[in-house]
Every structure is written in structure tokens, then in C-alpha cells.
Structure 1
Amino acid sequence: MEATVSDERPAQEGPATFSDVFGLAEFRALFTANVLSWIGDYVAKAAVTILVYRETESVALSAAAFAASYLPWLLGGPLLSALAERYRYRQVMMACDLVRMAMMVLVALPVMPPWAILALIFAATLANPPSQAARSALIPHILTGDRLMVGLSISTSSGQAAQVVGYMVGAAIASASPTAALLINAATFALSAALVRFGLRDRPPTMTAAHRSHLLRETAQGFRLVFGRPVLRAIAVLVFGAVLFSIVPEGLAAAWAAERSGDLDTGVAQAVIMAANPVGYILGGLLIGRLFAPARRLTLIRPLAVLAPVVLVPALLDPPPLMVALLAAACGFAVGGLMPMANGLFVRALPEGYRARAFGVMASGTQVIQGAAVLATGALAERFTIPVVVGGWSAAGVLLMLVAALAWPRPQTVEAAVEAAQATSAGTAAAGHHLPPVARAGIPAARSTVGERSRQAVT
């Protein structure tokens, strides 16, 4: 493993700063490439939706064009993410950017029929899981210690900001020229590929050809790792629970605004509700990361997990749209503060060589759970009022998150899991980036690299 900048800080020292993180050239390159790709993606979603609707005048096909971007995660996210560990991270990200660039250029061609546009969008988004998995696995090589926590906070908050900016810019440009918006997206992928190529070091793959088995088996190892280790499983439960409840106001915003817009225009009410959660997410990620020391932030994971659904329970009182937006923003704030800490701990508790696959499991699970939550609450809203559905759903969420918080592993168990992952990663590095042979038979066997206390805590 190539050397990284040390960030081992004394316990009494304050948290890492933004300048600490952005002072690293590799992080600046990776961050900029990601932001460009994110904004381009959201610009393209707005453009493709408008383009398909203009070509077909079909709301169903227009919605299908939007939904096509989520299908790869639902159909094969973990499997595609496993590819990121077979090849060099830089190589994977560059290839994915260039594939998406080419697909967007083809979509922009005026001769493309709607069915071809849908097929090309689907093909382009197949590159999302391996690209994002490679990025997630690469970040711990660039950032260590508290820099990692701050970097993840910046990245997740920037992703939310990119969503807001991308949709606004995309809708504005696409209304005048969908082709121009799609070409802009293609250009963002080209710039991202250039930043990755010239801004990142070319690290060897974590899995060599000699240690490969079968892609399905490697993917299954990712599932066993995430749900087979208590600390990783506990983090997964909190993350999945948080998104299960925080997505509901955004998913039901259109119907909520149509039925209860009050004095506001329906479109304005919908926009305010939909934008509130991302805005709160951005503020939560940035403020909690800056205001609290590293050790204190870890103690906030459980309270924030419970707080996320708690703040939506007052929806039972049928508040006006602006108050709904405030509730959604408060929920977003809690989730935004929780996610970087959970992500950082998750990365630290993962052994080198399994990070991309574990990311695929988590990202795919998040996508599926969000979609399921919106579908379930939408079906309930056919029988009950939306305030009752959102408030009742959130009240159930409070109970679920309380159980998850009470089942959270003891600090000694968390520490032992991190030590076990670091020991396994050190053994992998000493072996020349080859996965330990025991890992091919089963992930948990890697725990034998640490002492008896750690083995007992992790199991």
C-alpha cells in the first residue's frame, strides 16, 4: 500500500478543518470530479425527461426516462460495484466517465428515437455503481483520521447541493434546448475523466487476478461482510432506517402541495417541501462536522438517528407547507449530521479489499429502501390523509430507531472492529495488495489477525 498522509491527532486536539482536507491535491481533484459528475447527472435527468416528453407527449415514458437512472442500482448495484476491486480505482473511474460521456453524446443526437434514448440512459447509468464504489474505496487512501470524517461530510453535503443546482440549471437549460443540456453533461464527464487521470495517483488494484473467484461469489462476500459483522450491521441498520423515513416528505411533496398548499402556489409549495430536506442535509453535515470534536461526533450518531423521524411526527397536526418544509429540513439536518459519521466509521471498520463491494451493498440498499418507502407511503395515502401517513410512518420510525439505538454495540466492540479491519488491511498491504487467502473462503476468517479480545468483541 502506498504511503498516505498521517492524520493521527492527539485526543485533546480539535477536529480537522476544511483547509486540512482541501490542502491535499488528490482530494481536490477527486472532489471536483465528483461535483462535476453529480451536477451533470442532474442536468441530464431534467433534460432527458423534457426531451422524451416532447418526442412522445407521454407522461409515462417521461417518468420511465427519469426512473431508468435508478435501475442499475436496483438490478445489479452490488455486482457492478464488485468490479471496482478487480481493477485500478483510477482506471475504473476514468472508464466509467468516458462511457457516460459517449452515451450522453449519442442521446443528444436528434435522430435518436425515444426507445433508443431510454436504452442509452440505462447503459450510461450502468457505469454509476462501479464508479461510485471506486471513489468510496479510494477516499480512505487519500484522507485518514479526522480528515476522513470531514471529507465525507463535505462530499455528502456537496452531493445534496449538486442535486439542487443540477435540477435548477438542467430545467432552465433543457426548457430551451435539451440537446445543449445533454452536451453539457457529456462535457462534465470529460472534465471529470481528465481530473481523475491527471489528479490522482495510480494505485494497484486491491484484488489481483490470482485472488479472484467468481463475480457473484465476490459480491456475496460483500453482503456477508456488511451483515455478518455486528458493528457494520448496526451502522447499516441506522443508515437504512434514516433514509426510510427522511425520504417520505420529498416523495409525497407533489400530492401534499396539491392537497394542502394553503396560501402558496401549488408549484411553490411543492418546490419548498422538496428542497427543504437537501438544504437541511447540507447544513447538518457541515455544521456538526465543524462544531463538534471527533469523539463527541461519534456519541451523536444514536441521538441523531432517533431525531430524524421524531421531528416528522408533528405532521400529524396537518401543518401548512412552510411548517412542513421546516420539519423536513430538521429531518434532513439530523440525517446530514449522522451520515458522514456513520460513513466514516463504516469505512474504518472495513478491511482493505472489500470497501467497494460493501459500498455497493449499502448504496443499493439505500436506493431500494427509498423507493420502497415512497411506494408504501404513497399507497397508504390512497386510504388516509397525507399528514396522518407521514406522522404515523414517522412515529413507527421513532420506535424502530430507538430499538436500533439501544442495540448499538459497546464502544469496546466498535474499537475492536476498527482494530480488526486495520490489522487485516495491514496484512493485505504487507502481502503486496493481495487479499489474504482466508478471505476467499469467508470474510470473518480475517479476524484471526488480531488478539483474542478483538476476536470476541467482533464476533
Structure 2
Amino acid sequence: MSSSPRRETFRDVFAVREFRALWVSQVLSVGGDRLALVALTLLVYDRTHSALLAAVAYAAGYVPYIVGGLFLSGLADRLPRREVMVGCDVIRAAIVGVMLVPHMPLDVLVAMLYAVTLVQPPFDAARSAILPDMLDGQRYALAAAAMQTTYRVALVVGAAVGGVMVAVIGARSALGADAATFVASALIVGLGTRARPVPAGRPRQGQLARLGAGARLVFGDRALRTLLLLGWLVALYEVPEGIAAPYAARLGGGPVAAGLLIASTQVGAVLVTPVFTSKIGPLTRLRWMGPMAVTACSVLVLTAARPGLGVSMAIFALSGTFAIYQVAANTAFVARLPNERRAQAFGLANAGLVVGQGVAFMAAGAAAEVIPPSTVVALGGGLGALAAGGLALRWRRMSPAVGRHSARHLRDHASHPGGIAKAPVRGADSRAPRHGIAVKNPGLTVSQELRARSRS
């Protein structure tokens, strides 16, 4: 009699030395980025008392990412990914070190911060691309969940700590601490992860040709395109973050209320993501992905009733909770990418996400000048729900994990040790690589999922 396979846990993931190194480097990198951004923004405002110039400085955390995501992320497909990460950390540490020179003009400081952000996308792409080489299947899903949760926490804590450090030790010392985080990250990645060769089969093309090939890969495959658009929905359900200040002001609150609203958007995801990833089987996550995306957006429509601070925070937390569908979307996206194109695809996805968020935040801010911020949030949620509904239906028709033919499809592949690995997705472009939506060593096997279906 065969025993049921043991379910993978977060302990199993953190038992992998390489993942621990990658995780610690992420904490240092994200925390350092937020620290430098807050420090320089406050320094600019302190010297100029100009909200516009302070906003220009804060934009350094986003605008250069678009260029770097499009044109530099592919470096992690042409060079060893560990060396790309270490090199990016060393470059960022050097730039921030130069920023510590006394009496540096503000415009030069802002330009250097833009340069620091420009180097971030290849680091992020290399880290995202190398993670599936360290862990696969359910372990990868757990690792991705840990990374996403850590990123959310580091954003909030990094910004808060940045403000405190600037107040206590000054902006220049805070920048010095930022440089130290990059040096530490480089050492941890260099010593804590093993060297891997450049991905086999990498194309010998120019930068624009590689960018075009990456775009054709992502947008030419219906499954990848659907997963990508599901990921980009974050621009609509995170509108509350972009207009938290006017939303709080409309409720009679100030900076503290705005901070609580922003924090509430992350609380649900931080608490529920570990449970969702470790307790729910991979096929179930894929099946729930579409409905959860719809709910993450549609729940924001409730703000049309102009609720108070407490209810608004609860609505935003609930929206963020359902947004954990991104774990399933990320896992499926990675499984379908060929290794030699993985970093470029991540770069395109991240660049599009930043552009989408920027456009959504600006549009929401402009709309909030005319109509109540709560109405703006409700409109963004409604638009997101409509888009998510269309994407959910498209995914249901093409994914072997959902739909009326799913049980038969799963039985056909039940004997495959990788579950639904290499299963073709109906309607995908014939020119696209048929990697399917691989689920190796899943927490629940296909047969277990089928038994659960029959019981339900």
C-alpha cells in the first residue's frame, strides 16, 4: 500500500542554503532601496521645500525601472545569473558611495539615484530567473510566496525605517547604510549560491532583437499573455495606495490615517499567502486564480458607499487577501518560459507592471481632484473586475486545471510523475514553446486532486 506523499513546507524551502542566501539578499536589497529613496526625497524637500522636486526624486524609484526592465533584464539570459546579481549590487554600492561625497549638488544626487534604480531590473530578473533552478514544483511555489510576502513587508518596513533613520542619524548616514546593504547582499549572493553556466541555447542577437523576441514569446502565446495580464491587474486593485493621502484627508485623517490605509492593503496578503501556498494544492490554486482575481478587484466597489476609516481598511485588506492569486499566476508563468528567455520575460513583465501602476496612479490622482477618492477606488475596482472576468474566462477555456474537460485531461496525465507537465495549452500559438504548466513534486498529487474533486 503506497503512502501519500509528504506535503512540502516553508521549512523545506528555507532548509535550502541557496534560497536562504537569495532571501536575505532580497531583504537587504529592497530595504536598502526604500531607505535611499526616502532619505534622498526628504533631503531634497528639506533643502528646497518644493513638493514638485521631492516628487521628482521619489519618481527615481519607478521611472528608470522601465528602461532597465526593457533593455537590461536580458543580461541575465546572456551572462551567469549569480554574477549578474553580484555585479549589480557592486555597481549600486559604488554609486551610492559616490553620493556620500560632501556638498554634492541635488540634481547630481537625484541623477545618481536614478542610476541606482536603473541597475535594479537586471538584478531582479536574474534573481527571479535563477529561483526555479534552485527549487521546482511546490517548493518553487512556496519560495515565490515567501519572496512576495517578504517584498511586501520590506516595502512597508523599509519606508518606515528610512524615515526614522533620516530623523535620527540624518540623510547622509542613511545613504551610507544603503551602500552597506548592497555590499552585504553581494557577499551573501556570491558566497551563498553556486555558480551556474549561462542558459543553454541563448540566442546571439542584438539588444533590440532580443527585446523583440522576448515580446513575441510573451505576447505570442495565449497562456503567457493571459497570465501576464492577470499579473498586471495589480495596477487597478492597488489604486488605494496611490491616492491614500487624499482618501484619508476626505475622511478627516492625516498622515497616520494614510499610512494605515497603505498598510491595510498589504496585511491580508502577508497573513494569508503562506497558508494559501502551503495548504492548497497547485491545481486548486490554478482553478481558483481567475475567481480570486475578480474578487480582488470587485470588492473595492464597496467603497462607493463612502465607508469610514475602519471599514475602508477592512475592504482594502480583503482585496489584498484575494490578490494572492498572483502566486499561482507567477508559478504558471515561470513553468511555461524556456530557461534561456526567462530573465527577459521577467523584465518585460516587471516593466509593464511599473508602467501600468504609474499610469493608474496618475489617472486616479487626477480623477480624485474632481470626484471623491472613494469613488475613484470603486471605479478602479469595477474596471479591474471586468478585465479580470474576461481573463478568468479565457484562462478557464485554455487551462487543463479548470473547465469541464479537466478531469479527463488529468486522468490522461495522472501517470506522469510531473503531474501536468508538458501538457499543451489549447489555443496557444503554434510557434510558442510547449512547456505547458509544469507542476513538479506538487503538494497534492494529481490523483489526490481528483479524489478531492469526486468527494466535492
Q: Same fold (TM over 0.5)?
A: yes
1:61 equivalent in structure 2 = 53
Q: 211, 223, 238: which one pairs with 1:219?
A: 211
In percent, how many aligned pairs have the same letter?
36
2:339 partner SS: coil
1:253 aligns with 2:244: yes
Q: 277, 293, 305: which one pairs with 2:265?
A: 277
Distance in 2 of aligned mates of 1:303 and 1:405: 7
2:38 equivalent in structure 1 = 46
Distance 1:173 1:150, change over 3 A: same
2:119 equivalent in structure 1 = 127
1:424 equivalent in structure 2 = none
Displacement, 1:235?
Answer: 0.4
Contact (CA 8 Å) 1:420, 1:447: kept in 2 or not?
A: no
Displacement, 1:326?
Answer: 1.1
Contact (CA 8 Å) 1:50, 1:62: kept in 2 or not?
A: yes
- The residue type equivalent to 2:319 in the other structure is C
RMSD between superposed Cα atoms in Å:
2.3
Gaps of 5+ in 2: 403-408, 414-419, 437-456
1:391 equivalent in structure 2 = 378
Displacement, 1:413?
Answer: 8.7
Displacement, 1:214?
Answer: 0.6
Q: What whole-Å deviation, never above 9, does each CA across 1:298-326 have from its counterpart, x for those lacking one?
A: 22211111111121111000001121111
2:195 partner SS: coil
2:158 equivalent in structure 1 = 166
Bigger Cα displacement from structure 2, 65-74 vs 225-234? 65-74
Contact (CA 8 Å) 1:315, 1:387: kept in 2 or not?
A: yes
1:340 equivalent in structure 2 = 327
Q: How many residues align?
A: 414
Q: What whole-Å deviation, never above 9, does each CA across 1:86-133 have from its counterpart, x for those lacking one?
A: 111011001100011111112222221101101111111111111000
1:427 equivalent in structure 2 = none
Displacement, 1:207?
Answer: 5.8
Contact (CA 8 Å) 2:283, 2:401: kept in 1 or not?
A: no
1:419 equivalent in structure 2 = 422
* TM-score of the two chains, using structure 1 as the length reference: 0.85
- The residue type equivalent to 1:392 in the other structure is L
Displacement, 1:418?
Answer: 5.2
Q: 142, 153, 178: which one pairs with 2:134?
A: 142
Distance in 2 of aligned mates of 1:286 and 1:413: 22
1:269 partner SS: helix
1:430 equivalent in structure 2 = none
Pairs within 5 Å for 1:345-360: 345-360=332-347
Distance 1:208 1:225, change over 3 A: closer
1:206 equivalent in structure 2 = 199
* TM-score of the two chains, using structure 2 as the length reference: 0.86
Distance 1:204 1:365, change over 3 A: same
1:96 aligns with 2:83: no
1:419 partner SS: coil
Distance 1:41 1:444, change over 3 A: farther
Displacement, 1:350?
Answer: 0.6
- The residue type equivalent to 2:137 in the other structure is G
Distance in 2 of aligned mates of 1:385 and 1:125: 34
Distance in 2 of aligned mates of 1:13 and 1:330: 33
Gaps of 5+ in 1: 1-9, 422-442, 451-459
1:278 partner SS: helix
1:28 aligns with 2:16: no
Distance in 2 of aligned mates of 1:302 and 1:444: 24
- The residue type equivalent to 1:230 in the other structure is R
1:400 equivalent in structure 2 = 387
Distance 1:222 1:418, change over 3 A: farther
2:340 partner SS: coil
Contact (CA 8 Å) 2:67, 2:118: kept in 1 or not?
A: no
Distance in 2 of aligned mates of 1:324 and 1:253: 11
Q: What whole-Å deviation, never above 9, does each CA across 1:233-284 have from its counterpart, x for those lacking one?
A: 110121112x1222111111101111213xxx42221111011112222123
2:454 equivalent in structure 1 = none
1:206 partner SS: coil
